[in-house]
Amino acid sequence: MKMKSPVLLAAYLCLVMPGAVMAADLIPLGSIRTSGGQSFFEGDATWGANARLEFVPAVRFDNRNLLMPRLNASYTGTRTAIQVIDEGNLFQEEQGYLLGLKYIHKPTGYRKLKADVQAKIVLLKEAKNESWGKGVYDQKTLSTALELEQRFQSLSSIRLGVMAFAVRYPNYESLASLAGEDIMGRDTLDTNNAGIYFAGKIPGQKYLIKYRLNFELHRYFDQKLVQHLGDFSDRKRLDGVGCIWGSYTRYFDERWNMTRSGKKSLETSAGIKLSLRSRISNQNHYDADQLTFIDDYYDYTDFSANPYITFRILPADLAFQLSYKVDYRRYTDRPTQEDETGIYTDKKFYQWTHYTDLTCSYPLKKFIPGLSLETSVDLYVSDSNMKYEQTYCYNYTSVSYRFGAVYEF
């Protein structure tokens, strides 16, 4: 994978289709979000600002060819709990940048071929006094994907795709390498990955069903396997991750939303998203302090359910969305540890997370088309039977609220 692939694709289009380029239609789309707010983590309050830019200057050459460059930039200044390497970490600030290019070719009225290339950078601060670009979990990702979409006269569609992506943690080094020993590897979190997915949607008159099945292989090319005595083999870590995801959205009968004058006063929809995810890894774990070997340390099954409901009051177009998500993750062989001593128990480690969000938006289209005000309140609760938290945080409560503006163009 080379970063210059999007440039080559654009140059090819300009050289072999000069007439099409001259006649192309530019369709700039995007949004700008800004907000400020306060977060409370275990009673400790902090203020912060957030901003996000999304820009897609799409180029339509004709009815069969579409080029979609994409630029995303974001900053999160409110303290946030983020899953990194499937473990919970608390970060003070975050920056993210994404540059992508998607090409869509439509050979027939019901079929699309898509090619996508993306480069992404994530910068994370665990402490306020850290410098940008020095975070232990800063990430760089380069990905590419190919997809075939087939639509039907019923308006339903299916998609089949393959993808490859590489993830790098430029500032992370294993403890062994920091001590001058390269016995486990140096870039132990870096991965080369490949995946395949099958997805689709089934629209109805008053409902919409979406689904996705995907499988990924994650190859840790510089992380050796841990053996029973704490030494390392020459074999490398390899993880397989499978996921089944589905959603159902119901649009309520318009008769429920009619006033006596016959005009709609309320639009309502509700739905639920469900997912089942499983990770199988050949990597083990050896705790030198406890002299304990744990086989299949990273294997787990994860189930989540996310019901939501949306109300839109007309004609003001005032919208409310209430969402709740519960996630349950259980590790197959990882035992829990006692609070103070870290001694392992006979119980297997599990974790519940509960996320509740209430968002309200009000458009100011009478004054500035595309501009709207938005406010939200979030509650995040993590509860686990793991009480030993010297490395990661498993049990906490976080509350935050934000208020800001969104401009779409």
Q: What is the pLDDT along the chain (409 residues), one digit of tens a residue?
A: 444 454 455 445 444 444 444 568 999 999 999 999 999 887 788 899 999 999 999 999 998 999 999 999 999 998 877 767 666 666 789 999 999 999 999 998 899 999 999 999 999 998 878 899 999 899 999 999 999 999 999 899 999 999 999 999 999 875 444 444 446 778 899 999 999 999 999 999 999 999 999 999 999 999 999 999 989 999 999 999 999 999 999 998 655 555 555 566 888 999 999 999 999 999 999 998 888 999 999 999 999 999 999 999 888 889 999 999 999 999 999 999 998 888 999 999 999 999 999 999 999 988 899 999 999 999 999 999 998 888 778 888 989 999 999 999 9
Name the nearest CA neighbour of 329 among 394, 240, 406. 394
DSSP class of 210: E
- Determine the CATH number of domain 5-408: 2.40.160
**What's the pLDDT at 82?**
72
Name the nearest CA neighbour of 99 among 194, 4, 31, 180. 4
Name the nearest CA neighbour of 204 among 156, 239, 241, 265. 156
Return the structure tokens found at 265: 């006063």
The CA-based dihedral angle spanning residues 228, 233, 235, 238, taken in that order and rounded to the nearest 10 degrees:
40
Q: Cis link prior to 315 (omega < 30° from 0)?
A: yes
Alpha-carbon span 207 to 61, nearest angstrom: 34
DSSP class of 338: -
DSSP H helical ranges for 63-210:
175-178
Alpha-carbon span 126 to 103, nearest angstrom: 37
**What's the pLDDT at 89?**
66
Buried b (16+ CB within 10 A) or exposed e, 371-398: bbebebebbbebebebebeeeebbbbeb
**What's the pLDDT at 401?**
93
Longest alpha-carbon distance in the chain = 79
**CB contact at 8 A, 144 and 5:** yes
pTM of the model: 0.85
- Measured in Å, how far apart are the chain's first and last C-alpha atoms? 33
Name the nearest CA neighbour of 391 among 243, 100, 175. 175
**What's the pLDDT at 1?**
40
Q: How many helices (H) and strands (E) does the chain have?
A: 3, 20
Identity of the amino acid at 201: K
**CB contact at 8 A, 49 and 33:** no
**CB contact at 8 A, 306 and 325:** yes
Let me know if 78 is exposed, middle or buried by CB neighbors in 10 A (0-12, 13-18, 19+). Answer: buried
**What's the pLDDT at 16?**
47
| Backbone torsions φ then ψ of 372, nearest 5 degrees | -145, 155
**What's the pLDDT at 380?**
92
**What's the pLDDT at 130?**
86
Domain boundaries, the chain: 5-408
